[in-house]
Amino acid sequence: MSMSTSTAREAAAPVGDAPPEQVSLPEAFRYWLKLGFVSFGGPAGQISMMHTELVERRRWISEHRFLHALNYTMVLPGPEAQQLATYIGWLMHGTLGGIVAGVLFVLPSLGILIALTFVYLAYGDLPIVAGILYGIKPAVTAIVVFAAWRIGSRALRNGALWAIAVAAFVAIFALKVPFPAIVLGAGLIGYLGGRIAPDRFKTGGGHGSGGGDYGTAIIDDDTPLPARARFSWRHTLGYALVGLSLWGLVEGLLWLVYGWQGPLTQMGWFFTKAAFVTFGGAYAVLPYVYQGGVETHGWLTGTQMIDGLALGETTPGPLIMVVAFVGFVGAWTKEIFGPDALLLAGIAGASVATFFTFLPSFLFILIGAPAIEATRHDLKFTAPLTGITAAVVGVIVNLAVFFAWHVLWPEGSEAAPFAGPFEWFSLLLAVSAFVALWRFKVGIIPVIAACALAGLGWAIRT
């Protein structure tokens, strides 16, 4: 029976029917590969897509087990949708299944982003490419503003959380406090607040609540864990040792070949740190990536950072894949392999950035998931996460201000922030994009496509 026929049969199966047949690793491989190419829409869209396919249609995993895994990934740094795919792959086929699911969630996006970044750097001055980017930038600004509104409307439920958000904005905008320090401070405030005023730091949990009954799943509510998935200190220490060895091997080789100050070595160290502060999603960590990539290391310019986010929004996979753009541009700009091997340099930079960003995500799942499955209880330490989420809102607002400034006053600088002409057409596009996202619930990809066409038309006209 073909996969499409099997899927149709499972979707039509009545509630209470026998579970589907066991899924082989090659069949799971095909699904995860397909997901890697179609996972548009950010984490909410990607999680919804997995729920529809794996819980409702294919019945590979039950609603309860799906949400239990999601709640764990929510309190981790890193891309929760990719970590959720890794978790489910691990539940179904062990360590190899988790690695396959997590890698295939990222790999198509990396390949597509490498190709787009090469076109951007090699042909970005062509009028057609410049016009498309001119239209996409206001759309990206609107998307970031919409993300701040969407997260803030859910997260800022009382005055204490509003105060944390405002303090985070002031800290990063006016005082230039590093993003990791803001995360640590907000987490500490949340921890203390959870003890002093617990009602103000309660969290609603995952992205939604269960309630759907889609029939018996392969991994159902009461399906026991296989022996390979049960918690043991031997496996935990083994995964930790392998992960640290992989990190040390790659970073050590880069250090030996290029020295500690070499761009690839510094990228490895920088994106390792970034992987541990990605609470709140990619929008929250972008200011940190900007601080390091633009201000500290000079891998790319502020304008290129906006362009990279625009490209990231148009590709499948987690938005944090913008780190591959930063790595590609940084290695290209520094000409790490000489002026005649720019493409090879870019591929190396993108690969290094991606490896060091996602390695911790795999370790968080392979090390932590057995313990989470063994308890099968809701997580209790949510007050620090609540404080961090509130701070993330302020950080994202700062990011929106930064993007809007570069888009509306492209010739502005720190010394003369409002120099040059005001781009009123960009403002019109940004407002229209926000209204489309907020009022009419239009998807991100159609909004970007419409703004790209408008920008191209405006560039041709002028």
Tens of pLDDT, residue by residue over 327-367, are: 999 999 999 999 999 999 999 999 999 999 999 999 999 99
Has residue 462 got a pLDDT over 80?
no
Mean pLDDT of 167-188: 87
Mean pLDDT of 195-210: 63
Where do we find the tokens 């930790």?
A: 240
pLDDT of the residue at 121: 93
pLDDT of the residue at 11: 41
pLDDT of the residue at 158: 92
Is the model more confident about 181 or about 101? 101
pLDDT of the residue at 3: 40
Tokens of 223: 């399906």
- In percent, how much of the chain has pLDDT > 70? 89
Mean pLDDT of 258-278: 92
Is the model more confident about 189 or about 14? 189
Mean pLDDT of 59-75: 82
For residue 127, what pLDDT band results from cuts at 50, 70 and 90?
confident
* 62, HSE (Cβ side, Cα atoms, 13 Å): 18
Mean pLDDT of 71-88: 86
pLDDT of the residue at 12: 41
> Whole-angstrom Cα distance, residue 285 to residue 274?
7
> Whole-angstrom Cα distance, residue 419 to residue 261?
35
Has residue 237 got a pLDDT over 90?
yes
Has residue 28 got a pLDDT over 50?
yes
Has residue 71 got a pLDDT over 80?
no
> Whole-angstrom Cα distance, residue 79 to residue 77?
7
pLDDT of the residue at 5: 40
pLDDT of the residue at 40: 66
What is the pTM (predicted TM-score) of this model? 0.74
> Whole-angstrom Cα distance, residue 396 to residue 216?
41
pLDDT of the residue at 281: 62
For residue 60, what pLDDT band results from cuts at 50, 70 and 90?
very high
Of the listed ranges 97-106, 216-225, 283-292, the one predicted with least confidence? 283-292
Element (H, E) at 127: helix 127-155
Q: Is 347 helix (H, G, I), strand (E, B) or coil?
A: helix
pLDDT of the residue at 444: 75
Helices (H), 376-443: 383-408, 424-438
Distances (CA, A) of 272 to 261, 356, 387: 16, 5, 23
Has residue 412 got a pLDDT over 60?
yes
Residue 34 amino acid letter: K
Has residue 179 got a pLDDT over 80?
no
For residue 13, what pLDDT band results from cuts at 50, 70 and 90?
very low
Has residue 90 got a pLDDT over 90?
yes
Cβ pair 310, 140 in contact under 8 A: yes
> Whole-angstrom Cα distance, residue 393 to residue 391?
5
Has residue 107 got a pLDDT over 60?
yes
Of the listed ranges 3-7, 131-135, 310-314, the one predicted with least confidence? 3-7
pLDDT of the residue at 42: 65
Element (H, E) at 49: helix 42-50
- In percent, how much of the chain has pLDDT > 90? 42
pLDDT of the residue at 176: 83
Neighbours of 351 (CB within 10 A): 18
* Per-domain boundaries in the chain: 105-204+233-461
pLDDT of the residue at 250: 97
Has residue 183 got a pLDDT over 50?
yes
Cβ pair 101, 117 in contact under 8 A: no
Mean pLDDT of the chain: 85
Of the listed ranges 280-289, 304-313, 424-433, the one predicted with least confidence? 280-289
pLDDT of the residue at 381: 58
Mean pLDDT of 129-153: 83
